[in-house]
């Protein structure tokens, strides 16, 4: 019933790494959808009592407005996960399209697109995202767009390289010989054959997108108060490090755990899918 | 060799051109009237239309776009990047004053990154599969998975507030650069250590090394030195990229540690809506990065004979 | 041979530009096909032989419009009437197909073999899906494959089976003309025989016209009716199989024929082999005059002046050589 190949795959997916981190991620996803059921307090409920250190009532303490940190972290899960997924999706779609068109049509199109990509790469890391924010203004969605745009060059380069090597293969010429249109070649023959490395790149990017995105929020360019976004929360506790270390520390731990889980899960997935893939 | 250099320089020019177009567009894609923003920031209250029009003409905003762009580029090449709205000083002056801080920080961060990264990667590879390896790799995993700003804050918490060894802000004295540089370097170190570990393992597996493994200690050290040299090649390849990461990381790090520098200028510029400042700083940073990469490429070409044959 | 011609090629030139881009203009052309003229007749198999790099693959693909033509014309005929350019473009993909040499790179690894063979039907017909699938099964049977395999993937098949799939794809929309680009060169010898026999069978069953490209004269002997000999972008000799094998006129043809091993070792030792010296010159820089002049054992000074044309100008047996 199941082909030999599928049986092997299933065996690999039950490896330790995937299970452990997959579970963590599953928990995070559940938290992002069902935050109200898990959070002990209302995340934006201000209390006159001000900041409190971690105690029995508030496991992670409260911030300077008396809001429970644990609840805020739970509610903030969805923002971080969204930033990761949506940014990467934006980058993937635009970047892959550019790379595919560049490689397929070649010539002037290729030169122009690739020079543009080179120019985007001239802005190191977060700087490109900052430029986009400068134009669009602060806000959570703008952060996703900004981070997405900053990931476009990597996809474009990867897609272009893979498409160029696929185009050397005869089955591409075969489609032309039977009368297939360019669209057919790109959609049915090129894209399926480059989807694996592109997907792998995407899994590598999600964690980084969350780091950059929350960084933008930390700088005040992303989510705005009172949104319980983890980067923003870290920024809010910045001036109280000596009096109330917990305000900044716990949101950071949350980001750390999330990104580690995503990276390790992605690593495990990649090993399962293609153990011969060399980095 | 010269041919390659010239070719690379020629390739860089259209890139810089496009960069300048992108940067130029920042100011002109903005919603709202830049003159209004400028004056509202400086003088407050409602401004008579004639003042706005006057300023438009002074700033040259009434000219066609391509002419504005041309002026922008020619000015930039001759060193005029406009004037900061908020600080009322020429942007170029501000940049020249602040950029040494960022460069110092970036270079120190890079050195720490290489030192830490190579050390950890080396240890991990040599003691592969032992607890030392696992700890090292956990270290790097944490390094690449943690937000830089958070690491900065943690270091402040531990070393400034609790231990009082290093200051948490400012740029006076050598002590003030330690924590920021560590913050910057740590993330990169994580990346470098992983890369070095796998690269070194690959080199160490090669046959000629295995046959030599039977020899004594001093020979082993020579062996390791030699293997290390080969294994460093992929690390050196990404050096230019890592420098870019330093520049990017500086943006956040300078903010966390309240250090003057280019990163801080960009962030503040955006928050103040001081667009000439943002424009000039971003252009400056991008150009530095492009030139550094160009330099790295050319010198790498010089050192590695295999590339010459391509 | 009074058969109708279906393809007429006149003074065809297919050149490749090497290494020029926006900034650097390179005047080095690869003269892959250099002023070639011949006809292909209905239901015949024309063998096109030559060594690697002589341009035969390029010629085959150019006929199918898979390579840009520099100069010259390729005209298609139906019932002795020339089909005009617009009609040609429309019908061409349906009527003219190709079978590739490499069974491993000519099938999309991500598509089921059934889908691969179905694709021409998707493009050219408006049949219902169920009808297409039964046609695919029919095609599988025609090429000697179990129709139950249509949901499998290319990597599950051997080289010979993959070639059969490639053949099924080529005949899917009932073409009239098929370019066979060294279809058996990449296969084991025992499989080669099976595939060649299959091609011959299909040709007679479906009334196909074939352009059979190969570097192996013994294979061509089996399947071709006429043979054209190509070298460095030019046709040096063309004629019926009997004529070429029994009465070769061009020195190059003679050399090629002498390299076919005879089954009888005594006969083999008795006959004198013609061994050519040197390598084929670069197609970017062909010799002046006759392209074969640098290696021809019968070389005379007039061979370097002026190019010999194919004569006599009929299709029974023509040769391009000054010494004839």
**Averaged pLDDT for residues B72-97:** 82
pLDDT at B214: 62
C contacts of A186 (beta carbons < 8 Å)? none
- Chain B nearest C-alpha distance from A196 (Å): 22
Residue range B219-239, pLDDT digits in tens: 667 777 777 777 777 887 788
**Using 50, 70 and 90 to split pLDDT, how confident is the model at B310?**
very low
Q: Which of A5, A112, A169, A179 to mutate to test the interface with C (most CBs of C within 10 A)?
A: A179
DSSP-derived pairing of the beta strands C29-41 and C5-17: antiparallel
pLDDT at C314: 66
Percent of chain C with pLDDT over 70: 93
**Averaged pLDDT for residues B236-243:** 83
**Using 50, 70 and 90 to split pLDDT, how confident is the model at A149?**
very high
d(CA C169, CA C156): 17
A contacts of B198 (beta carbons < 8 Å)? 279
Residue range B159-210, pLDDT digits in tens: 888 888 887 787 777 888 888 999 999 989 998 998 888 888 887 776 555 6
Residue B266, chain A, CB below 8 Å: the answer is yes
pLDDT at C112: 93
- Please indicate whether, in this complex, the C-beta atoms of A184 and C123 are within 8 angstroms of each other: yes
Between C80 and C194, where is the model more confident?
C194
Q: Two tokens at A261?
A: 């889980």
pLDDT at B14 over 90: no
pLDDT at B132 over 50: yes
Superfamily holding B100-272: MetI-like (1.10.3720.10)
pLDDT at A278: 41
In chain B, what are the domain boundaries? Answer: 16-83, 100-272
Find the closest chain A residue to B154 by CA distance. Answer: A249
- Please indicate whether, in this complex, the C-beta atoms of A178 and C119 are within 8 angstroms of each other: yes
Q: Quickly list DSSP for chain A.
A: ---HHHHHHHHHHTSHHHHHHHHHHHHHHHHHHHHHHH-SS-TT---TT--B-S-SS-TT-B-TT--BHHHHHHHHHHHHHHHHHHHHHHHHHHHHHHHHHHHHH-HHHHHHHHHHHHHHHTS-THHHHHHHHHHH-S-HHHHHHHHHHHHHHHHHHHHHHHHHHHHTSHHHHHHHHTT--HHHIIIIIIHHHHHHHHHHHHHHHHHHHHHHHHHHHHTTSSS-TT---HHHHHHHTGGGTTT-THHHHHHHHHHHHHHHHHHHHHHHHHHHH-TT---
DSSP-derived pairing of the beta strands C226-231 and C45-49: parallel
- The Cα-based distances of B171 to A242, B45, B158, C76 in angstroms read 20, 37, 19, 81
Closest alpha carbon to C273 in C283, C282, C285, C262: C262
Average of per-residue pLDDT values in chain B: 80
- Please indicate whether, in this complex, the C-beta atoms of C97 and A188 are within 8 angstroms of each other: no
pLDDT at B140 over 80: yes
pLDDT at A148 over 90: yes
pLDDT at A150: 92
Q: Scan residues 34-63 of B and list those with Cβ closer than 8 Å to A.
A: none
Average of per-residue pLDDT values in chain A: 86
Find the closest chain A residue to B29 by CA distance. Answer: A135
Q: Quickly list DSSP for C9-41.
A: EEEEEEEEE-S--SS-----EEEEEEEEEEEEE
Q: Which residues contact A168 (CB under 8 A, 6 or more apart)?
A: none
- The Cα-based distances of A189 to A89, A171, B235, C165 in angstroms read 21, 8, 36, 17
Residue range A89-116, pLDDT digits in tens: 999 999 999 999 999 998 899 989 998 9
d(CA A227, CA A270): 34
Residue range A170-224, pLDDT digits in tens: 999 999 988 888 999 999 999 999 998 898 889 889 999 999 999 999 998 888 8
pTM of the model: 0.83
Average of per-residue pLDDT values in chain C: 85
- Chain B nearest C-alpha distance from A70 (Å): 17
Residue range B254-306, pLDDT digits in tens: 999 998 999 999 998 888 878 888 888 988 999 889 888 888 887 777 666 55
In chain C, what are the domain boundaries? Answer: 250-324
Q: Which of A20, A73, A108, A126 to mutate to test the interface with B (most CBs of B within 10 A)?
A: A126
């Amino acid at each position: 019933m199941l082909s030999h190949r599928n049986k092997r795959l299933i065996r690999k997916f039950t490896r330790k790494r995937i299970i452990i981190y997959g579970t963590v991620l599953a928990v995070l996803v559940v938290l992002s959808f069902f935050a109200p059921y898990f959070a002990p307090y209302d995340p934006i409920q201000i209390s006159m009592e001000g900041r409190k250190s971690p105690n029995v009532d508030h496991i992670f303490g409260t911030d300077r407005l008396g809001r429970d940190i644990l609840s805020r972290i739970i509610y903030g899960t969805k923002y971080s996960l969204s930033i990761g997924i949506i940014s990467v999706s934006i980058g993937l779609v635009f970047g892959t399209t550019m790379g595919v068109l560049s490689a397929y049509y070649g010539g002037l199109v290729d030169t122009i697109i690739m020079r543009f990509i080179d120019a985007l790469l001239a802005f190191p890391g977060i700087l490109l995202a900052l430029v986009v924010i400068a134009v669009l203004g602060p806000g959570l969605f703008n952060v996703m767009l900004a981070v997405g745009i900053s990931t476009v060059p990597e996809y474009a380069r990867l897609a272009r390289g893979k498409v160029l090597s696929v185009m050397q293969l005869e089955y591409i010429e075969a489609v032309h010989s039977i009368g297939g249109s360019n669209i057919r070649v790109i959609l049915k023959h090129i894209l399926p054959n480059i989807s694996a490395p592109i997907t792998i790149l995407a899994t590598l990017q999600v964690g980084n997108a969350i780091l950059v995105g929350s960084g933008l929020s930390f700088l005040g360019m992303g989510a705005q108060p009172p949104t319980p976004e983890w980067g923003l929360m870290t920024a809010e506790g910045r001036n109280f490090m000596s009096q109330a270390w917990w305000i900044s520390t716990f949101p950071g731990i949350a980001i750390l755990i999330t990104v580690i889980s995503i990276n390790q899960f992605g690593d495990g997935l990649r090993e399962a899918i293609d153990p011969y893939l060399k980095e | 060799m010269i041919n390659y250099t010239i070719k690379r320089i020629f390739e860089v020019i259209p890139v810089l051109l496009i960069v300048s177009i992108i940067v130029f567009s920042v100011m002109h894609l903005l919603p709202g009237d830049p003159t209004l923003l400028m004056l509202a920031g400086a003088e407050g209250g409602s401004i008579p239309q004639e003042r706005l029009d006057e300023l438009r003409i002074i700033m040259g905003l009434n000219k066609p776009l391509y002419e504005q762009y041309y002026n922008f580029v020619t000015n930039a090449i001759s060193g005029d990047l406009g004037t900061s709205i908020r600080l009322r000083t020429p942007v170029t002056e501000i940049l020249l004053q602040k950029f040494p801080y960022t460069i110092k920080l970036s270079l120190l961060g890079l050195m720490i990154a290489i030192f830490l990264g190579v050390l950890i990667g080396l240890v991990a590879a040599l003691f592969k599969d032992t607890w030392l390896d696992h700890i090292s790799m956990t270290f790097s995993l944490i390094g690449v998975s943690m937000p830089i700003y958070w690491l900065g804050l943690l270091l402040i918490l531990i070393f400034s507030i609790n231990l009082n060894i290093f200051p948490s802000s400012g740029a006076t004295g050598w002590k003030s650069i330690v924590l920021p540089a560590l913050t910057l370097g740590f993330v990169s170190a994580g990346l470098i250590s992983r890369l070095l570990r796998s690269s070194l393992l690959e080199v160490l597996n090669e046959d000629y090394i295995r046959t030599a493994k039977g020899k004594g200690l001093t020979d082993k050290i020579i062996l390791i030195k030699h293997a290390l040299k080969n294994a460093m090649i992929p690390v050196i390849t990404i050096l230019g990229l890592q420098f870019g990461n330093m520049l990017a990381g500086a943006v956040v790090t300078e903010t966390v540690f309240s250090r003057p520098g280019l990163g801080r200028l960009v962030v503040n510029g955006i928050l103040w809506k001081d667009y000439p400042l943002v424009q000039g700083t971003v252009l400056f940073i991008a150009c530095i990065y492009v030139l550094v990469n160009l330099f790295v490429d050319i010198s790498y070409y010089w050192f590695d004979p295999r590339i010459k044959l391509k | 041979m009074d058969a109708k011609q279906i393809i007429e090629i006149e003074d065809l030139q297919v050149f490749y530009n090497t290494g020029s881009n926006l900034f650097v203009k390179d005047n080095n052309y690869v003269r892959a096909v250099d002023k070639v003229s011949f006809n292909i007749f209905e239901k015949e198999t024309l063998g096109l032989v030559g060594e690697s790099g002589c341009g035969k693959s390029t010629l085959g693909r150019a006929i199918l419009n898979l390579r840009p033509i520099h100069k010259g014309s390729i005209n298609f005929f139906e019932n002795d009437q020339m089909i005009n350019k617009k009609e040609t473009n429309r019908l061409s993909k349906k009527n003219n197909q190709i079978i590739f040499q490499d069974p491993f790179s000519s099938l999309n690894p991500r598509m089921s073999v059934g889908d691969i063979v179905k694709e021409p039907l998707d493009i050219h017909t408006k049949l219902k899906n169920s009808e297409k699938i039964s046609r695919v099964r029919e095609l599988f049977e025609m090429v000697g494959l179990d129709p139950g395999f249509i949901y499998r993937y290319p990597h599950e098949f051997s080289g010979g089976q993959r070639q059969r799939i490639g053949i099924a794809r080529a005949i899917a929309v009932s073409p009239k003309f098929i370019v066979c680009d060294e279809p058996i060169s990449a296969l084991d010898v025992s499989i080669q025989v099976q595939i060649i026999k299959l091609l011959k069978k299909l040709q007679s069953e479906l009334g196909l016209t074939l352009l059979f490209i190969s570097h192996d004269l013994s294979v061509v002997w089996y399947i071709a009716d006429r043979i054209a000999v190509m070298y460095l972008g030019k046709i040096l000799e063309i004629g019926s199989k009997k004529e070429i094998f029994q009465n070769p006129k061009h020195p190059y043809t003679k050399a090629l024929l002498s390299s076919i091993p005879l089954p009888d070792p005594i006969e083999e030792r008795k006959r004198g082999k013609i061994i050519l010296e040197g390598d084929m010159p670069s197609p970017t820089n062909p010799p002046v005059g006759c392209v074969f002049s640098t290696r021809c054992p019968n070389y005379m000074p007039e061979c370097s002046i002026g190019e010999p044309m194919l004569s006599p100008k009929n299709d029974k047996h023509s040769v391009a050589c000054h010494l004839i």
